[in-house]
Amino acid sequence: MAQMTMIQAITDALRTELRNDENVLVFGEDVGVNGGVFRATEGLQKEFGEERVFDTPLAESGIGGLAIGLTLEGYRPVPEIQFFGFLFEVMDSVSGQMARWRYRTGGSLNAPITIRSPFGGGVHTPELHADSLEGLVAQQPGLKVVIPSTPYDAKGLLISSIRDNDPVIFLEHMKLYRSFRQDVPEEEYTIPLGKADVKREGKDLSIITYGAMVHESLKAADELEKEGYSVEVVDLRTISPLDVDTIVASVEKTNRAIVVQEAQKQAGIAANVIAEINERAILSLEAPVLRVTAADTVYPFSQAESVWLPNYKDIIETAKKVLTF
Amino acid sequence: MASTKKAQFDAKKTLEKIEEQFEMFQILNEQGEVVNESAVPDLSDEELQELMRRMVYSRILDQRSISLNRQGRLGFVAPTAGQEASQIASHFALEQEDYILPGYRDVPQIIWHGLPLHQAFLWSRGHVEGMKIPEGLNILPPQIIIGAQYVQTAGVALGLKKRGKKAVAITYTGDGGSSQGDFYEGINFAGAYKAPAVFVVQNNQFAISTPREKQTAAKTIAQKAVAAGIPGQLVDGMDPLAVYVAVREARERAINGEGPSLIETLCYRYGPHTMSGDDPTKYRTSDLDNEWERKDPLVRFRKYLENKGLWSEEKETEVIEQAKEDIKVAIKKADDTPKQKVTDLISVMFEELPHNLKEQNEIYQAKESK
């Protein structure tokens, strides 16, 4: 075991897979000698050489096309999109191309690509760096979308993502990169994609969430416990496909649920979680499933983040509405 | 006050200097006469006949495809008549280990590379079996998103380079496609990585109804190569020998580690943009059509071969009959392909089905077994 931040766990996962499989290639803007704008790929080019870890021209669409093309010669590309707000430049390669690769060739080709990309608010980034756009890719058949909230999950999920033979979008919340350390095994391990994790057990309310909101939810749960409520926190970890079994099992136990996301109400995936609960566990519900989200505006100017981003107080407030419905 | 001194920068001259580097490369004129003796490729009599055979075959394939489309026996069809030299002679310069990333009009190239005809027809109809790529055949399905094949080609070519293979990735787009961002990113990436790619722009002068002049103020599309720092060449796209030589040379440069090339083939499509309701009489004059029909690649290559005693009406009839027969057999084979079910579509989404698809698979299995 070693104490790692999430960014260290990510680097460790990349190193593990670069060692394990000579077909793994890491590339993107400034991921080589620079080690990435967040140090996620630090030391990797030095260890594995420019053939395996390399910089690209500044063009996201080109990076997406490069990744797809490299799969035809049996490579396993792990490209980076510097900030997920730049997804729009590469939306065709992601949703129009790699997601459909296996299908459009009748299963004769596949795209074992893992796109890593940072996102998320709370660190006062400039425009279009922090936007939560996971809802867009979660709507595309053929993609899996993974969002870890801890160093341990990040390593196991990233190794699984890289080994997956279909495309995975791996979104890394910037605020979680170095906010805390956790024990992470130094050896390789995997966490299955599409599996949620109950981060805290409880009996009265399920909070279903992902990304930075996992930690806000855990904080809210601690506060609510002081008031006598036992709160369960389900960290989705993979937002597409959803782990419906874990969600439903939790709701059937607690009979009340809220869904918490950092994205705007009209975005993200909270509406999808609620629909699944309504379809599968309506008879267990003592109250409607409510959402904690950001407002339906463009992502805030950085000085307005603190009043705009959902936090544990918003979660407590909504939780109480549901608990006292 | 602003100076009224004469500008030091001669903008007009700069443009002219660029343009004169992109003169059209031609070997055969409209009469099938060699106008560039030293450039004539070293092709055997059999190879010359095979090239003609493939061009005639492809013209028949186009005619039959249009008619089968009108009968409702094919779906999406993008006519190719007029582009035989550009498509077939460029393909003729490739080797089996080369990868082809075709656009939606480039079905003939992947057929000649090895895609069974009935599968091309299934693709036209919209069937999952259509682009199930036979093991070892280096092609991709026709790309509908104009430009996407260009960025992907940079990746395929880099893959070939990394594996140390003596092969290239070739891709095709049209004149309109050269306005896309992915067009530029593709050639620029391949240039930056010195990757073995051959980028072909088939300038058939119209992107649906929009004439080439409305795409760009650049005099040629070949000169766009300058922006990527790679060689560009304008070729008479109605001249099979010129197209062959240009692609062959680009291929040689690529496998020798000298990087990618951009080739503009100046050609014309005689038919509509696609068979999906486009009416070229709305935007093209019959004078223009006639002018380009005189440049027909089949006419000039036929004359060239006849003068060499390598082609006859008899030979041509034989090819036509063979093409018609093959097409009949392929359409029958397409007809006999089992209809698609939703479970078939689900099964090719992922290696391992995620929970939602597993669930939906069961639902559709139950429906389908009723």
Per-residue model confidence as pLDDT tens digits over A252-298:
999 999 999 999 999 999 999 999 999 999 999 999 999 999 999 99
> Is B54 labeled as catalytic in the residue annotation?
no
Q: Sign of the CA dihedral B302, B308, B309, B315? A: negative
Residues with Cβ within 8 Å of A80's Cβ and at least 6 positions away in sequence, in order, are: A26, A27, A28, A29, A31, A36, A40, A41, A63, A115, A116, A117
Set of chain A residues whose Cβ sits within 8 Å of the Cβ of B192: 57
Q: Is A49 on the interface with B (CB under 8 A)?
A: no
Q: Sign (positive/negative) of CA torsion B138, B139, B145, B150?
A: positive
pLDDT interval class at A251 (50, 70, 90):
very high
Cα(A144)–Cα(A137) distance, rounded to whole angstroms?
A: 8
Q: Is B125 noted as a catalytic residue in this protein?
A: no
**Residue B34 in contact with partner chain A when CB distance is under 8 A:** no
Predicted pLDDT of residue B3? 60
The pLDDT tens digits for A202-222 are 999 999 999 999 999 999 999
Beta bridge partners of B199: B171, B262
Strand pairing category for A182-184 and A2-4: antiparallel
Mean pLDDT of A165-180: 98
For residue B5, the model assigns a pLDDT of 73
Residue B309 has pLDDT above 80, yes or no: yes
C-alpha span between A9 and A155 (Å, rounded):
5
Quick check: B130 contacting A, CB < 8 Å? yes
Contact A189, A156 (CB under 8 A): yes
Mean of pLDDT values over A133-154: 98
Identity of residue B265: T
Question: B294 falls in which pLDDT band (50, 70, 90)?
Answer: very high
Judged by average pLDDT, the poorest of A285-299, B269-283, B291-305 is: B269-283
B100: closest CA of chain A, how far (Å): 11
Would you call A69 and B159 a contact, using CB atoms and an 8 Å cutoff? yes
- pLDDT at B150 > cutoff 60: yes
All domains of chain A in start order, with CATH = 1-182 (3.40.50.970), 195-322 (3.40.50.920)
Distances (CA, A) of B166 to B54, B158, B255, B256: 25, 12, 5, 8
CB contact under 8 A, B155 and A110: no
Chain position carrying tokens 């119209």? B206
The torsion angles phi and psi of A175, rounded to 5 degrees, stand at -70, -20
Is the separation of the CB atoms in B283 and B206 below 8 Å? yes
Inter-chain residue contact B189 with A66, CB threshold 8 Å: yes
Strand partners, B210: B207
DSSP-derived 3-state class of residue B61 = helix
**Inter-chain contact B141–A57, Cβ cutoff 8 Å?**
no
**What is the pLDDT confidence band of residue B318, given thresholds at 50, 70 and 90?**
very high
Q: Say whether pLDDT at B1 is over 60.
A: no
Handedness of CA B268, B302, B99, B329 (dihedral sign): positive
| Minimum CA–CA partner of A98 in chain B | B152
Question: What's residue B2's pLDDT?
Answer: 59
Express each pLDDT in A11-25 by its tens digit.
999 999 999 999 999
Average pLDDT, chain A: 98
Average pLDDT over residues B57-64: 98
Q: Which residues of B touch A66 (CB under 8 A)?
A: 151, 154-155, 158, 189
Q: Which residues sit opposite B341 in a β-bridge?
A: none
Local structure of B189: helix, strand or coil: helix
> Any chain A CB within 8 A of the CB of B153?
yes
Q: Is the dihedral of CA A59, A61, A63, A69 positive or negative?
A: negative
Which ipTM did the prediction report?
A: 0.97
What's residue B162's pLDDT?
A: 98
Nearest to B230 by CA among B263, B260, B253, B196: B260
Q: What is the mean pLDDT of chain B?
A: 96
Return d(Cα B42, Cα B47) in angstroms, integer. 10
d(CA B183, CA A192): 38
Contact residues on chain A for B351, CB-CB shorter than 8 A: 102, 110, 164-166
